[in-house]
Structure 1
Amino acid sequence: MIKLVLMNSDEYQDYISSAIKGYAEEKVLSGNWSQEESISKAEEEYARLLPKGEKTENNFLYSIVKDDKSVGVIWLARLSDEKGYIYDINLFEKYRGYGYGKEAMKEIEKVGQELGMKKIGLHVFGHNKVARGLYDKLGYQTTNVLMEKEI
């Protein structure tokens, strides 16, 4: 069984550096950004969303913990009184495939309910078929699909 533990400032610093790099890579993979601009654009995005880091109001950044080891991270934001948004869920490479992501999603839904949320949204890159499959199994419904073709 996993548990969610709010990040401290050291954990946040580790998280933010890897998150920026990972987000930049995803945006390049999906064709949204060029390699050259990706890191600076990702830094801008995180600075906008988390101006006070892990202490940014209405943002809840957790370490996903299994047997006293951090196995990943999950970030829930309150968008309104009734709506939350999962900006990030990331299991560290060696902990993938054990069901921890599914457990973390169920736990973050409980957190959302405790905060009074009635809905939680998220974004998944189209090329991330594993995550899309997980979200489908957990009952998340597709609300928008953006498609693109090189011509």
Structure 2
Amino acid sequence: MKDLITLKNMDSTEYQRYLNNAIKNYAAEHVKAGNWSEEEAIDKATNEYNKLLPEGEKTPNHKLFTIHAEDKEVGMIWLGVRSEEKGFIYDFNIWEGNQGRGYGKQAMKEIEVVGKSLGLKSIRLHVFGHNEVAWNLYKKLGYIETDIVMEKNLEV
């Protein structure tokens, strides 16, 4: 049997630690996807986070959680309420060394419980095309593709 996970509201210390890593990771994902150059990526990522979370972990309509299992933090998940009926998972990570243990699947199921308690009728998310592990998890959990962007590099 898998260990049960719990979602705990992020405190300000956890948020600052998360934010520092999230900006770097978000910038790197956009560079890898070909959306941004390396030179502009950190500034663009910082601006996006500042717009979305102007009050940090206390920004209204945003729920930032640390994911805990076995009395330790194993990841994080961020649910935003976009309307009375729709939510959006802005970020979701299981920390390195904790992956492949079922924590991600459990956390996604738990965030659905949170969404229902907030009155949401649906939750959307974005997955980068190169992230096959995440894409497969979301498909297994019943998420369907609603929009697909494709690109071909002509410089190769």
- TM-score between both structures, scaled by the size of structure 2: 0.96
Deviation at 1:53, TM superposition (A): 0.2
Listed as ranges, the matches of 1:24-103 within 5 Å are 24-103=27-106
Pairing partner for 2:135 from 120, 132, 136:
132
2:153 maps to which residue?
A: 150
The structure 1 residue matched to 2:111, chosen from 108, 112, 134, is 108
Match of 1:93, SS state, is: coil
State the distance in 2 between where 1:140 and 1:58 align. Answer: 22
SS of the aligned residue for 2:97 comes to: helix
2: CA distance between counterparts of 1:75 and 1:46?
A: 12
SS of 2:79's equivalent in the other structure is strand
- Give distance in 2, aligned partners of 1:130 and 1:65: 21
Aligned residue number for residue 15 of structure 1: 18
**Structure 2 alignment gaps of length 5 or more:** none
AA of the residue aligned to 2:16: Q
CA distance in 1, matches of 2:87, 2:78: 10
Aligned AA for 2:89?
I
| Cα deviation 1:99-147 (Å, max 9, x = unaligned) | 1000000000000000000000000000000000000000000000000
Offset, 1:14: 0.3
- 1:3 pairs with 2, 6, 11, which one? 6
The corresponding residue for 1:120 is 123
C-alpha displacement at 1:67, in angstroms?
1.6
Equivalent AA in structure 1 for residue 13 of structure 2:
D
* TM-score normalised according to structure 1 size: 0.99
> How many matched pairs?
151
For residues 150 and 106 of structure 1, what CA distance do their matches in structure 2 show?
Answer: 37
Could you tell me how far apart the structure 1 residues matched to 2:118 and 2:71 are?
Answer: 25
CA distance in 2, matches of 1:102, 1:117: 19
Calculate percent identity across the aligned residue pairs.
58
* Matched residue SS, 1:120: strand
